[in-house]
Amino acid sequence: MAGDLSRTVDSSLRRHVSEQRVSHRDRDQAVEILRVAAGDGRLTIAELGERVEAAMAARTASDLAVLTADLPLEGMPPQAREVIRIDQRFGEGKRTGRWLIPRRMEVRLKFSDLKLDFTEAVITHDVLHIEVDLCIGGNLTLVTAPGIVVDADDVTYSRGEIKIHPLPGPEEDPVRLRVLLSGRSTGGDIVARRPRRTPGQWFRRRAGAAPVPSA
């Protein structure tokens, strides 16, 4: 009898938890899990879009649970920070590897270089806003990957250069992250580029090229 009562209480508790209403934070955490899974190749772009749309419309815990039930949750990265502030003078700084992309960054550089490498970064949001203040000698380099585009139209500058690779055409990879830069540059450079090829990659590309026909 006691065992039956325990099972009834346990079942009732699980049902109660699964029917609890979720918050915006709960939805954001589910979306983060989905984006990381897509970055690891566990979900296709189409599956990611469908599940993210369902996660944002979820009302209960069970609605979210079904979207991540077939994905590993162990070892997931912690929640990304809302804003990262970098105030750097002299020297070099970088963010590389599987770093968590926040919603916003504030970057101030003077006589220093900063590299933000997105090739292995964990994308948790569709848009990253970067506000820059580049003084003389302050240079920002963004290393992008397929599906990541950079827009620096809102940056005003009096000296220095801004070099952004073209936006992808309709035949290229779908956009996974938009990096929107704003602020000012009074003597620094902003460069957005793809990763440089290693010597091995360069050799394989050359070896795979069609031979030039002789005259």
Can you give the pLDDT of all 215 residues of the chain as single tens digits?
444 544 444 444 444 445 778 777 778 778 878 887 887 788 888 888 899 999 989 888 888 888 888 887 655 555 667 888 999 998 889 898 888 888 899 999 999 999 999 998 888 778 999 999 999 889 999 999 888 899 998 999 887 788 887 655 555 667 888 999 999 999 889 999 888 654 454 454 555 554 444 44
The predicted structure's pLDDT at residue 133? 93
Q: How far apart are CA 17 and CA 157, in angstroms?
A: 54
Cα angle value 146/147/151 (rounded, 5°): 110
Domain coordinates in residue numbering, the chain? 2-68, 83-193
Q: Supply 203's token pair.
A: 């050799």
Q: How far apart are CA 211 and CA 92, in angstroms?
A: 42
The predicted structure's pLDDT at residue 180? 94
Q: How far apart are CA 65 and CA 22, in angstroms?
A: 11
Q: Supply 113's token pair.
A: 């270089």
State the number of CA atoms in the 13 A half-sphere of 64 facing the CB: 24
- Judge contact between 111 and 90, C-beta under 8 A: yes
CA distance readout (Å), 143 to 97, 176, 205: 12, 15, 21
The predicted structure's pLDDT at residue 9? 41
Q: How far apart are CA 159 and CA 139, in angstroms?
A: 12
Q: Supply 1's token pair.
A: 């009898």
Given the DSSP bridges, would you call strands 190-193 and 138-143 parallel, antiparallel or unpaired?
Answer: parallel
